[in-house]
Chain A
């Protein structure tokens, strides 16, 4: 690709697009004084499919909309003018893409809980959808694995296995299965499937012997060189390179798009992952981010490893939990009763199933009536909840690691491979994607996130205002200052803070006392009974807080211990969720449950009265 670089300090304007499965979004960032700000956005239908079959058409349409809205020239016919001269053109153009089904990968390792899991983590971290994970010990017969490999037709395969210098036979056996299956790529019949080998380096010559003739093999350093350490970087980088060279190059119009951009095109989720990591690093906090789309839901997290104290990034993609194309799968996985428990009115079961089915086959429709909106938001809660369950079981410490145990550990039964997701430690929960970013009231987004994720203790809530995290993610790789400034000022909308004591008492009994020193000298001081939700409106400024739970209930400093801290309001405010945790339960009786749902909605002003 031709390099068209302007020195970072001289960059005046940045154009970024994200080519999604249905819509291509464009944003324009300009330097105003000393800071970078979002100035406008545009969108147009994605044009990867027939009759256009050229992604750049949708990109140019979206840019044209930006041009019209901003009132300045960015295009010279079908070229983006770069660098900026006077009021014309932009200094950088970058893009992400998830069009055409994104990056679909098959990963293979030797031991399911070790090298295969590390390989899966590398693929997910690079922004892929993992179609299947094969391992020597996954319980399938060899011929079943072969027929699975043949059937899947992925974009790429990542093979790992064995620590450096260890036995090679198992990983070579996996390579033999791959060769026997002679896998074919998803797009096009005329090129060989890219395979990345990131396993025991001693096995590399045998792997080459097996795979170099039937696949396009790349060998990178082992992603698990020793049991105690993962080295996912080289495999992830290779995935990105091959995504550009092979997958994107096969997709309609992408060669043209690659020539237009100043940085490699990133898979959308990979870009969102990098911006989440930037926030966690810059603010030294633990973060959970979620992007709920039409077909998939991605969850990202950065938590500190309790042993090393190092931040660990994880991403999971729930490939069939989304709000349109795969909405019926949310129903299938969550089960009807779990969706119904969030619907604040009575509804006939057949009717609900038909409505969900119709959304699946008419994915671009939007809820017109309030009733339809409430149903969609009930389904969203379950899609988010299930995605988070998957994330928690995947975001774990390394398995199979020998741990030195001391006397004090004797009473601590924690094993290797425990989830890193500790909700009490979570500082910030960020929501993104249509149902969260475009909810008619931000209060609804806050409620959906609280109900689905059940944050514990004190957690800040935010949403991506217009879903521009992907573009900012790729921007972070070329201009981190601009990315973080726009992220903080224009992208991240601070909704407020959720205070959720952990524990339970009898319904109606005192649960927690909260004292807040609000702006303009106002004071909030109230004891909240168990089972209630309360909203205190407050802007995004520091608020001194004293939180005193009843005996046995924890808000972050151990059961029964009061804490003094600073919390922040936001567009919604401070929500005290006294419905309890571990367990959190809704009334089993339908009439009682509907009443409770309505009470909570009213208490947090979820819908306009």
Chain B
């Protein structure tokens, strides 16, 4: 029978980790297989085609598009500066000429004798991709990018905003269940990746951003505060491009939810070390989770295994991902075969779970459990 459960977020102390760094369009790869790279090293480069500006030359000159050859001053492929004359009429005895100037610098891509339109292409926009993590080039994808291999501690969050950033880890709350408030943030937080507990206030985030904090990792955050930060409602969880100075990674969910002890302790163990973080999240097709990567000097041969290969079983440690019991950890003690009726009246496949914190057994829909992965 099919398994209906959510693979859990990964919290791994030491793993062999690979990261693909890919260009948006084909370009040049700057490194070779086996090269050692640092996070800031450029590994691939491309030029995005420049912006394109159409100008309706025939309209401006008030001539028929089919006669455009007679009026064009510049040829296709010519390099032009802003304000250069593209086309002009001959006027009467050299007087009363009309002309069309280029609104931008670039190249005259083409002009059309059907529409009278000239296309000016600005200079290409260079795009450099850095390594983002320390490691060894494991694979070169010709013209597209590289795969970098490293040994790292690795934590996945559930939701984030903001893109790639790097900074030393600084633990701000004493315990995983504490709240990160603005008064805990001071000058020493500048350039750091802060770790909080169960919740972070909006004031604290705003202060961190002002102080130049690179990133924050916290258990819970209010959904409505996200709008205050980015200026709009995030209706679909596709993030990573928000105009924020500080990347935010939420590990558990919205509201006040204690950060999983395992996550908190792992980050604590690496306090002072540099973490590469990214808030980019995509819940739909092609799931992307926010990530924290702390590169280690030692080697590990343990590869990250796809969690959904193995199923839920008696003894599996799970985290409840919906109310009631949201955020609590427990252990599966029974997996009844038949569908059971929930309080809502729905029939669902359930699991009996011993909730550690409350030391009691409850029946929960399997869809509301996620396998808690620690290895």
The reply to whether chain A is a binding partner of chain B is: yes
Residue of A nearest to B112 (CB): A176
Q: CB distance B115 to A364 under 8 Å?
A: no
B contact residues around A44 at 8 Å (CB)? 2
Mask, B82-95, CB within 8 Å of A = 1, is 00000000000000
Q: Does B210 contact A (CB under 8 A)?
A: no
What's the nearest-Cβ distance from chain A to residue B286, in Å? 6
What's the nearest-Cβ distance from chain B to residue A578, in Å? 27
If A21-B284, A147-B51 touch, whether A42 touches B2 (CB-CB below 8 Å) is yes
Q: CB distance B54 to A372 under 8 Å?
A: no
Q: Does B367 contact A (CB under 8 A)?
A: yes
Q: CB distance A355 to B321 under 8 Å?
A: no
What's the nearest-Cβ distance from chain B to residue A308, in Å? 36
Q: CB distance A328 to B285 under 8 Å?
A: no
If A101-B285, A328-B237, A358-B255 touch, whether A367 touches B117 (CB-CB below 8 Å) is no
For the complex, what is the distance from the CA of A353 to the CA of B324, rounded to whole Å?
Answer: 16
If A362-B321, A366-B346, A373-B345 touch, whether A142 touches B54 (CB-CB below 8 Å) is yes
Q: Does B338 contact A (CB under 8 A)?
A: no
For the complex, what is the distance from the CA of A99 to the CA of B286, rounded to whole Å?
Answer: 11
Q: Does B60 contact A (CB under 8 A)?
A: no
Mask, A163-202, CB within 8 Å of B = 1, is 0000011101100110111101000010000000000000
Binding site of B, secondary structure by majority: helix, strand, loop or mixed? Answer: loop
Q: CB distance B53 to A143 under 8 Å?
A: yes
Interface residues of A in 338-394 (CB under 8 A from B): 349-351, 353-358, 360-370, 372-373
Range, interface on chain A:
35 or more
Q: Does A332 contact B (CB under 8 A)?
A: yes
Q: CB distance B52 to A354 under 8 Å?
A: no
Interface residues of B in 308-338 (CB under 8 A from A): 308-309, 321-324, 326
Q: CB distance A143 to B52 under 8 Å?
A: yes
Residue of A nearest to B323 (CB): A372
Question: Chain A interface: which of B176-184, B185-193, B228-236, B352-360?
Answer: B228-236
Q: CB distance A362 to B233 under 8 Å?
A: no
**Residue from the list B54, B223, B308, B365 in contact with A353, Cβ < 8 A:** B223
What's the nearest-Cβ distance from chain A to residue B84, in Å? 18
Residue of A nearest to B220 (CB): A354
Interface residues of A in 1-29 (CB under 8 A from B): 21
For the complex, what is the distance from the CA of A189 to the CA of B144, rounded to whole Å?
Answer: 9
Range, interface on chain B:
35 or more
Interface residues of B in 288-324 (CB under 8 A from A): 306, 308-309, 321-324
**Residue from the list A168, A295, A358, A370 in contact with B114, Cβ < 8 A:** A168
**Residue from the list A49, A101, A170, A365 in contact with B321, Cβ < 8 A:** A365
B contact residues around A50 at 8 Å (CB)? 306
If A328-B235, A329-B235 touch, whether A364 touches B54 (CB-CB below 8 Å) is no
If A61-B2, A370-B345 touch, whether A48 touches B285 (CB-CB below 8 Å) is yes
Residue of A nearest to B233 (CB): A332
For the complex, what is the distance from the CA of A126 to the CA of B109, rounded to whole Å?
Answer: 35
Q: CB distance A353 to B224 under 8 Å?
A: yes
Q: Does B374 contact A (CB under 8 A)?
A: no
For the complex, what is the distance from the CA of A360 to the CA of B323, rounded to whole Å?
Answer: 14
Q: CB distance B117 to A173 under 8 Å?
A: yes
Q: CB distance A358 to B253 under 8 Å?
A: yes
Q: CB distance A169 to B324 under 8 Å?
A: no
For the complex, what is the distance from the CA of A182 to the CA of B284, rounded to whole Å?
Answer: 27
Q: Does B364 contact A (CB under 8 A)?
A: yes
**Residue from the list B235, B255, B283, B306 in contact with A51, Cβ < 8 A:** B306
What's the nearest-Cβ distance from chain B to residue A129, in Å? 12
Residue of B nearest to A150 (CB): B49
Q: CB distance A360 to B237 under 8 Å?
A: yes
If A328-B235, A364-B367 touch, whether A206 touches B224 (CB-CB below 8 Å) is no
B contact residues around A169 at 8 Å (CB)? 65, 114-116
Q: CB distance A328 to B233 under 8 Å?
A: yes
Q: Does A45 contact B (CB under 8 A)?
A: yes
**Residue from the list B52, B159, B235, B348 in contact with A333, Cβ < 8 A:** B235
B contact residues around A354 at 8 Å (CB)? 222-224, 253-255
For the complex, what is the distance from the CA of A50 to the CA of B307, rounded to whole Å?
Answer: 11
10 A–B pairs (Cβ distance < 8 Å), ordered by A: A45-B3, A49-B287, A51-B309, A101-B284, A169-B115, A176-B117, A180-B121, A329-B233, A369-B323, A440-B344
Spell out A's residues near B (CB within 8 Å): 21, 42-45, 48-51, 61-62, 65, 68, 99-101, 142-143, 146-147, 168-170, 172-173, 176-177, 179-182, 184, 189, 206, 295, 320, 325-326, 328-333, 349-351, 353-358, 360-370, 372-373, 438, 440-441, 607-608
**Known contacts A329-B235, A358-B322; 12 further A-B pairs (Cβ under 8 A):** A42-B2, A45-B4, A49-B286, A100-B286, A143-B51, A169-B115, A176-B119, A295-B236, A328-B235, A350-B222, A358-B254, A369-B324
**The 9 nearest A-B residue pairs measured at CB:** A329-B235, A440-B345, A357-B223, A332-B233, A51-B306, A373-B344, A357-B254, A354-B254, A354-B255
